[in-house]
A = this chain, B = another copy of it.
Amino acid sequence: MKRYVAVCGAGDPAADTDALAYEVGRLLAEAGAIVVCGGLGGVMEAACRGAKQAGGTTVGLLPGQDRSHANPYVDVAIPTGMGEMRNALIVRSADAVIAIGGGWGTLSEVALAMKTGTTVVTLGSWDLPEAGGHSPQPAASPDEAVNLALDR
């Protein structure tokens, strides 16, 4: 069965995290994984752009009700109308989460994934202590992040 990996990060463009996200998206698509994200700009758009560059499939779970808010690299855009509650849907849709950069929305996705036992990999993101005997797995590069997320 195909693997679904969520790439989580801020919607505002930022050169450093966008470059990481592009590479993560590209490597996930090369590995045959489906990229799930929040469907907007910044890290989400960069990850989708990378995935499409490698011929992959991208899914955007949008916070609002307007499908046209999806970035142009989203193949399947779902306007959830759930606002930030859709972060929980992104996590639930994913077999693993790669968090890039350090916003509060990203932290919510990391925490929800940790709570529900989903693999979480951080890349230039929140540095969190162990809780309940578990912590996210920090990666030093897009390549390592994808390998950890795909458990290979």
Interface residues of A (CB under 8 A from B): 1, 4, 34, 57, 59, 61, 65, 67-68, 75-76, 78-85, 87-89, 92-93, 102-105, 107-108, 110-112, 114-116, 128, 131-132, 134
Contact = CB atoms under 8 A, between A and B. Distances in A.
- Ranked nearest first, the 5 interchain pairs of A and B with the lowest CB-CB distance are A108-B111, A85-B88, A107-B111, A104-B115, A104-B114
Contacts of A1: 67-68
A67 B67 CA distance: 24
Nearest to A12: B132
A116 B84 contact: yes
Nearest to A130: B102
A85 B76 contact: no
Copies in the complex: 4
Interface centre among A84, A88, A115, by most chain B C-beta atoms within 10 angstroms, is A88
22 contacts: A4-B67, A61-B78, A65-B83, A76-B76, A78-B93, A79-B92, A81-B82, A81-B83, A82-B85, A83-B88, A84-B112, A84-B116, A85-B85, A85-B88, A85-B92, A87-B88, A87-B112, A102-B131, A103-B115, A103-B132, A110-B111, A111-B111
A50 to B, nearest CB: 18
